[in-house]
Structure 1
Amino acid sequence: MLRHLGADPDPVIRAAGLDLAMLTDPNAIIPLGAFCELIIRSGACTGCPHFGLLLGQRVSLPSLGLIGSIMLRSETVGDALRSLIRHVEMHCIGATTALTAKEGTVIWNCVVYEPGIDCADQIADAAAAAGTNVLRALCGADWCPTEVLLPRSVPADEVIYRQLFGAPVRFNREVAALVFPTSQLDLPIPGADPLLLQTLQERLAEQSRRATPDFASRLRHLVRTELMQGHCSAERIAGLLCMHRRTLARRLNAEGTTFSVVADQGRFEIARQLIDHTDIPFSQIAAALGFSEASAFTRAFRRWSGDSPSAWRAGHRR
């Protein structure tokens, strides 16, 4: 992508603390923080404010390796997407994705849970573009979402977004998401092959056992996902981790923390990303995080950061 935009990739990659060899190794896992630094530097040196969007546009099912092969051999589009979601941490630690269906509409979203990430808007762009490519590979090249949601302020050039997605793009949203009819989950995939699928799934299961994320990453992942769905509690998170609430409390106590602290860290990260990258009113952010009123959110944010939301937005706006 850097070469395509007329830049020399080697100094940019090295300045981000990475080695060019990592980007040619299909099995390499790049830390999300380093990946963000790379995207920020790439956008700066090319003068392209939507570098993440263009990067995501280049993602294809073959680039997803074994998971991509499984998706192409799955029976339906829904089966394929659920396979990707179930094993997304094999490709990305620090961001996650989920699929929800309600009243005939599917929302396929992506959220960043790694703390301190400074390019959540670029990751959202890349995820939405990559997801569109994935669905076009499964449903046909002319597939388009009903609408696209992005957690970023309105860009100077909206046209490139509309052209890429072929659908209305809603900026200043809480999460990145593709919206489309539920009926499309039942569409058959032309290359479905049950026998080959079983073989590929067995290989993936073995790889998954070797790539299990650590407890802290898994916990942040679950807390981030549940917070945005409005039902994050110690009992629920413990159940998702297949342990009793008291076991979770002991595990966290051994690491010098508590569930309430971890949940507040998750709330702060969500709030920080939305304040940094969007123009969403603070009252709306407060509601999304489950606060009964904006003043309660303001007090909590000041406790987390030392600043009010308005002061933070003025000092950290990107």
Structure 2
Amino acid sequence: MTSTSFAPAPQVRARALTGFDELVIRYGGDPDDLLQKAGIRPELMNEPDAPLEHARVVQLFEQAAECLRMADFGLQLADIQGIDVLGPVAAMARSEPTVGEALDTVHRHMAYISSSAEMVVDHDARPGQAAILFALNLPGEIRHRQKSELSYAIALRLLKLLAPGWDTKDWELHFSHDHGLPANEYPQRFGCRVVLGQATEGLYFPRTLLDQTIDSADPSLARQIEKYVSHIVRRYPLDLSMQVHALLEQQLVSGKCTLPNIAQQLMMSPRSLQRRLKQQETTFDEIADGLRRQRAENLLCHSDQTLESVCSLIGYTEASTFNRACRRWFGQTPLAFRKAFRNTSGNTAASAAMQ
């Protein structure tokens, strides 16, 4: 009998769906139907900073490609989105002095775009070459060709915009998938060599590109935009449910774990906090209840705390409330649950000793 920890699903901002409805309609599909089948509320299309489960967005792109019979769905979506899909991070990157500093800016502010995806710049990826490496950090069973091709198409577009005079024919793009578009079509679409079936995905380019100055550089503007992005990340964090969980965990015993108190600490109104948590498909009560259940299970099974102490340590003031919660969580009273666990553990240990 083990306890499960709270682990909200990785999130991405709803701006990742920019152009989705336009592209689907262009090919005769129903965007609302596809969104609903993927478990995404269509109205979130109008809230670019709202959080969406990253895996659902990735699966949505794969399902749309299959439904519309578009092998290049991700690439066509990249054509519509451009670097604008990066939001203010793109403007910040264009204001940096060099390409290397611009890419470092994108790397440092990936938390604005996604709570799990990473973009790393390897300055010594190969002799004379640097590389942009994306890690979507999704469960292995989730197909992600469309999202992967879209991400690298955007990265390539950003580099071309930052350094417009560079010839990309000698650049090289590696993908982990071993099939997709016809092999001869990839170089035409990306403007560089494309290699499929690789262990590591990445966009390889001359290391000297990192030192290329940017014509639109404006460091003071970059810092202003950075302040704005930091404000957005604080006000509209993608991992809000985890922040609520952390605050509850710190104060569970204090008796201050109420929605108004936690909302105040996050500088939100209770109504705004509930609305934002609903966007992440959870509620304040669900997070608090899950945390109490986890802590109660650990204390009942793995400590000698009295039942009264356990009740207090999970933030309850009344034994009757604790008893009702345990019946709901475990189907029995706290004492019966503890005895059942110890009997099971004792029998397992005895069996092992006899072998």
TM normalised by structure 1 equals 0.62
Matching of residue 100 in structure 1 with residue 122 in structure 2: yes
Specify every segment of 5 or more residues in structure 2 that has no aligned partner in the other structure, as ranges.
Answer: 1-22, 244-294, 299-355
Whether the 8 Å contact between 2:177 and 2:198 is mirrored in structure 1 is yes
| Aligned partner of 1:64 among 77, 83, 86 | 86
Whether the 8 Å contact between 1:58 and 1:130 is mirrored in structure 2 is no
Q: Match for residue 212 of structure 2?
A: 187
Q: Match for residue 40 of structure 2?
A: 18
Q: Match for residue 164 of structure 1?
A: 189
Whether the 8 Å contact between 1:162 and 1:169 is mirrored in structure 2 is yes
1:188 Cα offset (Å): 1.1
Q: Take 1:3 and 1:178, find their aligned partners in 2: how far apart are those partners?
A: 31
Q: Take 2:200 and 2:80, find their aligned partners in 1: how far apart are those partners?
A: 22
| Aligned partner of 1:54 among 73, 76, 88 | 76
Matched residue of 1:59: which SS? helix
Whether the 8 Å contact between 2:62 and 2:144 is mirrored in structure 1 is no
Matched residue of 2:25: which SS? coil
Identity of aligned residues (%): 23
Whether the 8 Å contact between 1:149 and 1:170 is mirrored in structure 2 is yes
Q: Match for residue 269 of structure 1?
A: none
Matching of residue 115 in structure 1 with residue 139 in structure 2: yes
1:1-318 to structure 2, matched below 5 A, reads 1-102=23-124, 103-115=127-139, 118-140=142-164, 144=168, 146-210=171-235, 211=237, 213=239
1:62 Cα offset (Å): 2.7
Per-residue Cα deviation, 1:48-67 (whole angstroms, up to 9, x for no partner): 12322322333323332211
Whether the 8 Å contact between 1:89 and 1:213 is mirrored in structure 2 is no
Whether the 8 Å contact between 1:147 and 1:179 is mirrored in structure 2 is yes
Whether the 8 Å contact between 1:29 and 1:91 is mirrored in structure 2 is no
Per-residue Cα deviation, 1:91-111 (whole angstroms, up to 9, x for no partner): 123321111012321110112
Q: How large is the Cα RMSD of the aligned pairs? A: 2.8
Q: Take 2:202 and 2:183, find their aligned partners in 1: how far apart are those partners?
A: 17
Q: Take 1:142 and 1:24, find their aligned partners in 2: how far apart are those partners?
A: 37
Matched residue of 1:61: which SS? helix
Whether the 8 Å contact between 2:117 and 2:136 is mirrored in structure 1 is yes
AA partner of residue 98 (structure 1): V
Q: Take 1:57 and 1:132, find their aligned partners in 2: how far apart are those partners?
A: 11
Q: Match for residue 326 of structure 2?
A: none
Whether the 8 Å contact between 1:124 and 1:151 is mirrored in structure 2 is no
Count of equivalent residues: 221
Q: Take 1:146 and 1:9, find their aligned partners in 2: how far apart are those partners?
A: 35
Q: Take 2:28 and 2:183, find their aligned partners in 1: how far apart are those partners?
A: 23
TM normalised by structure 2 equals 0.56
Per-residue Cα deviation, 1:75-122 (whole angstroms, up to 9, x for no partner): 111111111111112112332111101232111011221325512322
Specify every segment of 5 or more residues in structure 1 that has no aligned partner in the other structure, as ranges.
Answer: 218-253, 257-318
AA partner of residue 56 (structure 1): A
- 1:10 to 1:214, Cα distance in 2 relative to 1, 3 A: closer
1:152 Cα offset (Å): 0.3
Whether the 8 Å contact between 1:147 and 1:168 is mirrored in structure 2 is yes
Q: Take 1:176 and 1:83, find their aligned partners in 2: how far apart are those partners?
A: 21
Matched residue of 1:135: which SS? helix
